[in-house]
Amino acid sequence: SINHKHPSATNPTRRTAVRHFRRPHRCYASLLSPSGRRCRVVKRQGVNKTNIYIPTMHFHLSFIASALSAGTVFSFAPTIGQSNLRASSSLQMSADDTVTLGIFGGGTVGGGIVEILSKKKSYFQQLTGKNIEVKKVCVRDASKPRDFTLPEGCSVVTSYDDILNDDDIDIAVEVMGGTTDAKDVVMGALKNGKSVVTANKALIAKDLGEIESLVSSLDGDTQFRYEAAVCGGIPIIRSMQSDFVGDEINLMSGIINGCTNFMLTAMDRDGKSYDEALSQASDLGYAEADPTLDVGGFDARSKLKILMRLAYGIDVEEDEISCRGITELTKIDFGYAKTLGGTIKLLGVAEKSDSGEVSAFVSPCYVTNDDPLSSVNGATNAIEVISDNLVSSIYIGQGAGRFPTANSCINDIVALAKGDM
């Protein structure tokens, strides 16, 4: 768990006591106590707050802030700007009327990008004044059959250098995943003057600071865009970069992993066990062969770290964010949640207190039925942003999948072709 304190706040101290978690009309309770004990929940209404106390019941309920109470206090030092959105009249294209792409990864998302570009080729030409063409797709095995048709003139290659060293390629699109080769590809492309579009949340969470520093040091119009890295088809990254410039974000809370939300919906609505819900998620392609990143909450934690950097300008290590997954939840827990008038959702939450501290965690939470997030079911993602000016903004949509994720990549590609900021 983490707490960041603004340098103007005096006498920063380590939090050791459970505190109240206040927000307009709602109070979430983390469902897994640090001790792992099963607990009882009693709500007492106070002035502008709801207190949740913890002594003994089947529910693994603890106060939402107990997941944060042992956090370390850091200096609140904004580290990000909008270096990846620098103004540009247009990219330095290989030809005046053509934007050429090289795609790293020919799987689900890479194929979706190719299909959307082919389907809407004429429209994109009218919109940008440029022909957007895929010149090369880099894959591990060129002989493997693909579930999409390559555009005319596009070749399949197996060496990263075939794209990185091709001066005719304007934009490198990284959708192959991972944090080792992917980082080399992204950094190499930027250093070679190519703008980069990626959907790689793990890479962004781990190395965004280093990547932005490189972009800031480059001359010309080289840009780095990563809309698809958080919540797939929901345009949350762009919104965080541009729609809250004059605002102050106080709280972000959201369902930011589609696999676990699908499973929790099945356990709540359909009465399935954890194992049954996981099996169904795997059959439908929502869960990976190894679902640990999803069910352990680690995927959601990576996304929350990225959102915290955009909202509060702070950069922390992922393991500093308290993280609990859904593996210990049972059907009985959902029965108790219904008795209390709510349900259980895996939430990523980051809150800035009145004193300037920022606290964050990922955990299964009890959510009341009158909360907007309680009705977000299936593999859908949703994020609520509480801010001074806009008060409450809710973003909801498909958080993963071939075309939702590819669509966000396409938006970044088209923006670069248009020369948008």
* 303 tagged catalytic: yes
Gap between the Cα atoms of 180 and 281, Å rounded: 28
Count of all residues that appear for the chain in the document: 421
Q: Please, where are the H alpha helices in 48-193?
A: 108-119, 121-128, 161-164, 181-191
Give me the catalytic one of 183, 206, 303, 352: 303
Gap between the Cα atoms of 323 and 298, Å rounded: 7
Gap between the Cα atoms of 144 and 318, Å rounded: 35
Instruction: Encode 319-337: b = buried (16+ Cβ within 10 Å), e = exposed.
Output: ebbbbbbbeebeeebbebb
Name the strands in the sheet holding 224-225, side by side, starting at the edge strand that comes first in the sequence: 155-157, 131-138, 98-104, 171-174, 195-198, 224-225
* List of E strands, 199-238: 224-225
Q: Which two tokens stand for residue 19?
A: 């505190």
Helix (H, G, I), strand (E, B) or coil at 357: coil
CB 257 within 8 A of CB 385: no
What residues contact residue 167 under an 8 Å CB cut-off, 6+ apart? 94
Q: Please, where are the H alpha helices in 71-107?
A: none
Hey, which residues are catalytic here?
303
